[in-house]
């Protein structure tokens, strides 16, 4: 009988110890047996002030402020609090304010997505305080583009060589294209202004202006906006020189006609 009572007491003691999880910390734990959670097909719910704050579903989805998370991390949004999700805040200013606040990285030093990149340190990203960087550090010219996809199509792509591709219309209040040289070389005294007769001949044969691509070429190859604008400016400047020259000839002819009129009256 004593042996049975001792065995029961030992079993109760073991069971009591197994169910204990100290709030001040635990040692000698084994994550296979010691954990906070459920062992059946039920969610784990964390509450404060008897209000549910976090729920971990049986499938592993985690919800914050939502009772049925449908993703690995589902954070509920509302229109009352303007800081629904705060992952980090700077405590200093300038380009040495701190390292990346949010980093989803391929490794510890090559982040693919960052918010608020700052100074040269572990996880250094290019930019200054308050930047939002989406980055891929692959240096090969053929791989590593940053793609924006909707409707299962790449709508916007930024290539490793700096070229960008946009499938659709581009609208902006202002667009600045920097390209040198400009077309002011037309006004140089040594510029060889094409003869109008040669331009006329070229138009009759080619059906487009000299140094300007044909419509078929534009449809096939596209148009470099910066270079095309400079070429158009060049043609405008050439046209201006033709007009100035014609204006001189008209003035000269007008003066000659006036002289003829005076000569006729004196006879």
pLDDT, one tens digit per residue, over 191-236 is 999 999 999 999 999 999 999 999 999 999 888 888 899 999 999 9
The pLDDT score that the predictor gives to residue 198 is 94
Q: Among candidates 148, 119, 146, which has minimal Cα distance to 131?
A: 119
pLDDT of residue 113: 56
Q: Where are the domains of the chain?
A: 38-77, 93-136, 138-169, 184-261
How do residues 14-29 score in pLDDT, each as one tens digit? Answer: 544 455 778 888 888 8
Backbone angles phi, psi at 179, to 5 degrees: -155, 140
Of residues 13, 14, 53, 21, the one with CA closest to residue 37:
21
What pLDDT score does 212 carry? 92
Q: What are phi and psi of 210, to 5 degrees?
A: -60, 145
pLDDT band at 93 (very low <50, low <70, confident <90, very high): very low
The residue that leads in pLDDT, 53 or 110, is 53
Other C-beta atoms within 10 Å of 141: how many?
A: 10
Model confidence at 13, pLDDT cuts 50, 70, 90, reads low
DSSP run (H or E) holding 106: strand 102-107
Q: Which two three-digit tokens encode residue 43?
A: 């969610």
Measured distance CA(62)–CA(43) in Å, rounded: 10
Looking up tokens 């096939």 gives 220
How distant, in Å, are the alpha carbons of 33, 86, 121, 210 from that of 102? 33, 10, 15, 54
Q: Indicate the range of 58-67, 144-153, 215-224 predicted with least confidence.
A: 144-153
What integer is the mean pLDDT of 233-242?
94
Answer for the pair 177, 183: CB distance below 8 angstroms, yes or no.
no
What pLDDT is stored for residue 149 in this prediction? 84
């Amino acid at each position: 009988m004593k042996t049975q009572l001792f065995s029961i007491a030992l079993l109760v003691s073991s069971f009591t110890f197994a169910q204990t999880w100290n709030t001040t910390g635990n040692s000698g734990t084994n994550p296979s047996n010691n954990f906070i959670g459920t062992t059946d097909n039920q969610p784990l719910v964390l509450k404060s002030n008897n209000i549910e704050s976090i729920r971990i579903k049986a499938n592993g989805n985690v919800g914050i402020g939502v009772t049925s998370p449908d993703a690995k991390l589902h954070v509920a949004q509302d229109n009352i609090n303007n800081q629904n999700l705060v992952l980090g805040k700077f405590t200093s200013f300038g380009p040495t304010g701190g390292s990346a606040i949010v980093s989803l990285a391929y490794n510890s030093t090559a982040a693919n997505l960052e918010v608020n990149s700052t100074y040269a340190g572990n996880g250094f990203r290019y930019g200054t305080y308050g930047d939002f960087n989406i980055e891929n550090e692959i240096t090969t010219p053929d791989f590593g583009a940053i793609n924006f996809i909707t409707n299962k199509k790449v709508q916007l792509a930024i290539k490793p060589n700096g070229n960008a591709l946009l499938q659709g219309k581009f609208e902006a209040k202002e667009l600045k294209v920097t390209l040198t040289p400009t077309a002011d070389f037309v006004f140089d005294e040594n510029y060889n202004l094409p003869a109008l007769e040669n331009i006329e001949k070229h138009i009759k044969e080619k059906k487009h202006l000299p140094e300007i691509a044909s419509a078929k070429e534009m449809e096939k190859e596209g148009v470099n906006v910066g270079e095309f604008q400079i070429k158009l400016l060049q043609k405008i400047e050439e046209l201006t020189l033709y007009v100035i020259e014609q204006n001189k000839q008209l003035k000269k002819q007008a003066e000659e006609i006036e002289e003829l009129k005076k000569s006729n009256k004196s006879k």
